Structure 1
Amino acid sequence: PATADAGSDPNAPPVTAPLPREAWLATLAELPAVAGLAPAAVTTVEADRVRILLADGSEDEVLWENGLRQARPYLSENAVGGAPGSPADVLAVGDVIRVDRRNDAWRLSQVPAAQAALVSLDPDDGAILSLVGGIGFELSKFNRATQAERQPGSNFKPFLYAAALDAGFTAASIINDAPIVLEDASLEGIWRPENDGGKFYGPTRLRWALTKSRNLVSIRLLRQLGVSRLIDYAGQLGFDTSDFAPDLSLALGTHAMAPLELAAAYAVLANGGYRVEPYLIARVDDSAGETVWAADPVRVCRDCEGRELSMEEILAGEDANGHRSAGRVMDERVNFILDDMLQDVITRGTGRRALTLKRKDLAGKTGTTNGPMDAWFSGYNRDVVTTTWVGFDAYTPLGRREFGGTAALPIWIDFMREALADSPDRERPVPAGIASVRINPETGRLAGAGDSDAIFEYFREEYVPEPAEGGGEDVPGKTGTDDLIRDIF
């Protein structure tokens, strides 16, 4: 039960004896509703319900099935106590609780200690469609969407893979998923990163590694790519790289950033490879309805695709509609291939829960940091890009069952269900210079005529692999060694 004291913990046990009705009402008047959760005082405890007094003076009830039966005492982030046998095991007269009304009935609730944030953008111009900085502005004015810098974990991996694709790796490049030990002074000694679950799967195609979020593949990929190359590429996409630590831990999303910064980077993935800047205010009108100021963001011109711009448009930096043109920061074909890989995260990987939306144009990536401490999901279609985060302000663990796909993704799903209601489900066109060929899924090379396990994969035309029998050359994606890393078998 919550406390009658309007202090910092809205769920602490009561600190006063049961009060008269007038005193209860005075106490309730001092407690604001938080995220729609209304304060109420318990006036009577019965065998199958409790009677409550609300701040407006009305009286009602909370039935046993409406949150009382489900209540459990908190033991730790991973455990709760036994089930109650009656309402008296949960509440007592005089307790001040939080209730919410659903289906014409009051339910026992509580203000969560965990926090969450959401940022949603129009990927064509960066307009902020929705911004949620936390649960209950009444409790905290801190805007976690713009001010909280948290490690994104695997939510950052798509940008590593984009840099690798740009450098000549392919979705079929093979990287070894095996234990590694890093000896690096910048990482303060020995570092033994692991995959979630502690398993290793040997030589793995990059597409499958991203789909299943394999940490060891990402680290080896960054080692082959080069840390400085990733940092340069991330800066090109719009990340503030001034404080990026130049070490291999970047592969696992260790650099802290705000959800807004991450959402802006995912907008590049959603809009085809163009950099846009988030903005909140579209225009300012005076009391007469006249516009005194209007935002002039750079925009992605969908009408310009496949059309040559005139010399006047190029010199003016404007598109066919007279808007300032967003600059391309990611190769169109790299963007297409990466988007296709991130669609696999939804259909076959850690984002499968999003299949409940019954759409074929969704792509995204989960993210979870050690603890788990932070849970993320960033995803998009062509019209809307959204990032969600869940965690504790105090940097304490969420619990061993809370991951990006279980804590942050459900919020994303609920929001996108409404946000995409009027967005048509459409397939991206294949850009010029992309080849779809059959490959051997074990080697990543062209499949032979009799290869029954062959699958199709997209490549930039100049990076179509050779047949397996012609191999042996040193190409991007081949497992290498280095004095700082030793494989453990």
Structure 2
Amino acid sequence: MHLTASWIRALALLALAAITGALLILAACYLYLAPQLPAAVAIREVEYQIPLRIYTADGKLIAEYGEKRREPITYDEIPPLFVKAVLAAEDERFFEHPGVDPKGLLRAALELVRYQEIRSGGSTITMQVARNFFLDREQRFLRKFNEIVLAIQIERILSKEEILELYLNKIYLGHRAYGAEAAAQVYYGKPIGELTLPQLAMIAGLPKAPSAYNPITNPERARLRRNWILFRMEETGAISQEQMETARQAPVTARYHAASPEVEGAYMGEIARIAAQDLVDKDVYTEGVRIYTTLDSERQNAAVTALRQGLHDYDERHGYRGPLAHIGTDDLPDPGWPRPQDTEAAPDQDQPEPELAKATEPDDSDELDDDRAAWVERFSDQPAYGPLHTAVVTALRERQAAVLLADGNQAVLEWDDLKWARPALNKGYMGEAPNRAGDVLKVGDVIYVRPVGDNQDARWRLAQLPRAQSAIVSLDPDTGAVQALQGGYSFYASKFNRATQARRQVGSAFKPFVYTAALENGFTPATIINDAPVVFDSSELDEAWRPTGASERFYGPTRLREALYRSLNLVSIRILRQVGIGQTMNTLNHFGLPTERFQRDLSLALGSASLTPLELAGAYAIFANGGYRVTPYFLERIEDKNGKVLWKAPRVEKCEAPCAVVDDGDAVAESTPDLDEDGKPIQPPPVKAPRVEDENIIWLMNSILHDVVERGTGRDARRLGRGDLHGKTGTTNDQVDAWFSGFSPALVATVWVGFDSPATLGWGEYGGRAALPIWIDYMGKALDGVEERYPPQPPGIVSVRIDPESGLQARPDNPNAIFEYFREDNVPELESPHSNDGRTPEQIF
């Protein structure tokens, strides 16, 4: 007995000595390592890498750029159930230990002795925070000691809640997601506060090994990890056994959710991204920079919808080019004809579609069954753009087609959405109209379908990716702020921004500038010019030039007003010839047009000049705002992640010439120059918008451009039911380019339609047919709720009765007299009963 007691005392002393020695070693390590480690206090100044985000002027997300997706949240925003899930998985005693858990370290040490390899590191959440912020991930004993030292220091500086907040915002959780909130968005497309218990447990299982337990790439392994965490939560009392059992039965519903824009504006996003790199002295991709563009979200969505609808309408007029591919179906199960409860209505058209649809994304609410999955796998490699969805034809009836969409839902295409598909032949010809669904489709055809109709009657329609392209740009004429911009059908199908980069001949949309030059040089809306054939023969030409009009009809002597709303080419040539190229170029310079690029010949009257849609819209803004030149710009302000303004666009002020003007060669305004003593940005000096055209001439031109809409080539716009619309169609030779540029006093919009490699759009595809419908659809929505505005008649304008045949002031007894507007110093002479109508030989011939 005495011997036993001696052994016990010896062992106790030995244990005490061992513990003391270990403590001394740890203390020595601490004293040795602590001075060499980074100061833990630096964790209070931690900066997360946050991606660049671009917004509309009203705060809707357009795009996100950056290697890491991260959305930092505060501890109070973290669901308590998620905190319990993380602690159950990673550090059950987190709120009890001082940053280091001896039990965990002992367990890790025993595993190392037993298995001769590191099975678990014994790291607490605080130790992981130390490693993530200050150390590398190499598995070494020295790094572990460093973790311990830093963890102890961190626990002295931060509260447990602050440590957990740092941890849940910093950790990598797969698929570019850093932090819990980003992971919730990536895997479930929702804020973390809206996730269910099994979804929270799934994310809580990711920190251990984001690749191995990833619910997208390893769904079965992820499910097992999730269920173990649910078991641990029940074991620790975080949830009941009933909650655990229910959650363990839940299917794995995670799928990849790309950063979801609220507004389609990828073309503008690219403009803003490039501009920001020059405007702010920051790493824009990692420091949480926020750019607010000038876009109006509702107008931008309206522009995208109108452009795509217009291109689909054009595309359907020129026939069906066939399926994307054809898959063999002999070895596939028969999915049957869709039952009503199996079909899915077309998506809500009021919401923007994602630019690049994921062909293999199943519906969250219903796992894809094996039969449908076998079909989907055969065509999952086909890309989908904008509102286009890939689908495969699974069955046909006389005038119906059953299709399976890439998301596993079934739908039926009705005859009204199939019968347009006459086969497209060579050189723009089309084959016979189909009589049944089998004339258009075959089982196994991989096709595009798109949603059409309103919310209550939404349906699917056979579609194809349009070959023609379009661009639309819309401005606030008073400031130049771009309200809407779309540079093509889809940014992800083609990144070429046709709104800002495509220089195309503008055709008759250029004529208003030539007519403005005429009014500046003595012409009036009543001046008579002859619309008759003319031949130009010169040694500089390979052959004689015989310009004609689109209809090849000649109207003879015609008033200037009528010539513009009828878009008479020969009248425009005669006007340019009389005014002169030099005088006309002066006027074009007033409108800010790039005259250095223009040919100095009579073809200019027909729109041989090449402009981008943005350049043309900027010039038309001068008509809309009463004669002031504004510079189109895209950005309102740039902020850092804390909301501090780094750059701000100056306000625009109209001024009567001459006035000091900043250089307007760039498409963005000047940046904020200085900060005040409180660090707030000083409002930059205003950008001057000088008067470049006489208000009387602008008012007369607007009166004529209003007639283009009321009775001319743009008269289809009357269906908008507004009296304050003005504009001009444009079409180039062989219908290669189609345009409509128009405005109300509140908004300017320009639309172009054509092929990227210039080719004819086809017979009859003039500006009034190909481009004007897009403009009408856009302006109808963009001006909804905007009151009509009618600028007052300037005091220098008078209304006079004229004879419509001669253009002279009518005698009181003239029964055919009409009213016309003139500058008061340019009223025509009174017609004489003995005159031959007052027209000069030059005007007649």
**Structure 2 regions of 5+ residues with no counterpart?**
1-319, 333-371, 663-683
The answer to whether structure 1 residue 341 and structure 2 residue 704 are counterparts is yes
CA displacement 1:457-489 (0-9 Å, x = unmatched): 11111111111229989x9x84539xxxx96xx
Give the match for residue 495 of structure 2: 141
- CA distance in 2 between counterparts of 1:468 and 1:316 reads 46
1:208-250: per-residue Cα shift (whole Å, max 9, x none)?
Answer: 0001001000000000000121112101210001121110000
Task: Name the CA shift for 1:478/1:331 in 2 (closer, same or farther; >3 Å).
Answer: farther
**Residue 175 of structure 1 contacts residue 479 of structure 1 at CA under 8 Å; is this kept in 2?**
no
Q: Distance in 2 between matches of 1:328 and 1:27?
A: 62
Of residues 396, 401, 421, the one that matches 1:50 is 401
- Per the alignment, residue 346 of structure 2 pairs with none
- Given the alignment of the two structures, is residue 109 of structure 1 paired with residue 463 of structure 2, yes or no? yes
The aligned counterpart of 1:400 is: 763
Could you report, residue by residue, the CA deviation over 1:435-462 in whole angstroms, capped at 9, with x for unpaired residues? 1111111111110010011111111111
Q: C-alpha distance in 2, partners of 1:452/1:274?
A: 40
Is 1:467 the counterpart of 2:821? The answer is: no
Map of 2:802 onto structure 1: 439
> Does residue 33 of the first structure (1) align with residue 355 of the second (2)?
no
Aligned-residue CA RMSD in angstroms? 2.6
Residue in structure 1 matched with residue 486 of structure 2 by the alignment: 132
- Answer yes or no: is the 8 Å Cα contact 1:387–1:412 preserved in 2: yes
Contact persistence 1:120–1:386 (CA under 8 A):
yes
Contact 2:714–2:772, Cα closer than 8 Å, also in 1: yes
Larger Rg: 2
- Please tell me the residue identity of whatever aligns with 1:336: W
Note if contact 2:529-2:574 (Cα within 8 Å) is conserved in structure 1: yes
Offset of residue 418 of structure 1: 1.0
Name 1:267's counterpart in structure 2. Answer: 621
Indicate the residue corresponding to 1:18 in structure 2. Answer: 328
Instruction: Confirm or deny: 8 A CA contact 1:433 1:461 kept in the other structure.
Output: yes
- 2:595 aligned residue: 241
Pair 1:227–1:185, CA change in 2 (3 A): farther
**Distance in 2 separating the partners of 1:411 and 1:138:** 21
The residue that corresponds to 1:480 in the other structure is: 842
Q: Kindly provide the CA deviation profile for residues 54-112 of structure 1, in whole angstroms up to 9, marking residues without a partner as x.
A: 111222222233x2223211135653211222211111121111111232322212222
Tell me if 1:283 matches 2:283.
no
Pairwise CA distance, 1:18: 1.7
Name whichever structure is richer in strand by fraction.
1
SS at match of 1:333: helix
Q: Aligned with 1:364: secondary structure?
A: strand
Letter in 2 for 1:36: P
Distance in 2, matches of 1:259 and 1:114, equals 16
Q: Match of 1:81, as an amino acid?
A: G
- Counterpart CA distance in 2 for 1:385 and 1:354 is 14
1:187 Cα deviation from its structure 2 partner: 4.9
Structure-2 residue corresponding to 1:4:
none
Bigger relative contact order (CA 8 A; separation at least 6): 1
1:133 partner letter: G
Classify 1:390/1:478 alpha carbon distance in 2 versus 1 (closer, same or farther; 3 Å).
Answer: farther
Query: Counterpart of 1:18 in structure 2: which amino acid?
Result: G
1:370 is displaced (CA, Å) by 1.2
Deviation of the 1:426 alpha carbon: 2.4
Of 415, 423, 430, the match for 1:73: 423
CA 214–34 in structure 1, closer or farther in 2 if over 3 Å, else same: same
TM-score, with structure 1 as normaliser: 0.88
| Structure 1 unmatched runs, 5+ | 1-9
**1:204 aligns to 2:514 (yes or no):** no
Amino acid at match of 2:475: L
In the alignment, is residue 87 of structure 1 matched against residue 450 of structure 2?
no
Shift in CA distance, 384/47, structure 1 to aligned 2, threshold 3 Å:
same
Mean CA deviation greater in 290-299 or 381-390: 290-299
Q: Say whether 1:448 aligns with 2:811.
A: yes
Structure 1 residues 231, 38: CA separation in 2 closer, same or farther (over 3 Å shift)? same
1:62–1:106 CA contact under 8 A, matched in 2: yes
Mapping of 1:270-349 within 5 angstroms?
270-296=624-650, 298-300=652-654, 323-349=686-712
Which amino acid in the other structure matches residue 391 of structure 2? A
CA distance in 2, matches of 1:224, 1:443: 19
The 1:266–1:390 alpha-carbon spacing in structure 2 relative to 1, beyond 3 Å, is same
The code of the aligned residue for 1:231 comes to: M
1:344 alignment partner, SS class: helix
Q: Is the contact made by 1:212 and 1:345 (CA closer than 8 Å) also made in structure 2? A: yes
Instruction: Identify which range, 182-191 or 274-283, moves more after superposition.
Output: 182-191
Whole-Å Cα distance in 1 between the matches of residues 607 and 529 of structure 2? Answer: 19
| Counterpart Cα distance in 1 of 2:797 and 2:717 | 28
| 151-160 or 281-290, larger mean C-alpha shift | 281-290
Q: Is the 8 A contact 2:327 2:446 kept in 1?
A: no
1:25 to 1:150, Cα distance in 2 relative to 1, 3 A:
same
Residues 224, 480 of structure 1: 8 Å contact kept:
no
Residue type of the alignment partner of 2:328: P
Residue equivalent to 2:447: 97
CA shift, 1:323, in A, is: 3.8
Identity %: 48
Aligned residues: 459
Contact 1:346–1:363 (CA under 8 A) maintained in structure 2: yes
How far apart are 1:15 and its partner, in Å?
A: 5.1
Secondary structure of residue in 1 paired with 2:590 = helix
**1:366-397 Cα distance to aligned partner (Å, 9 max, x none):** 11111111111111011100001111222111
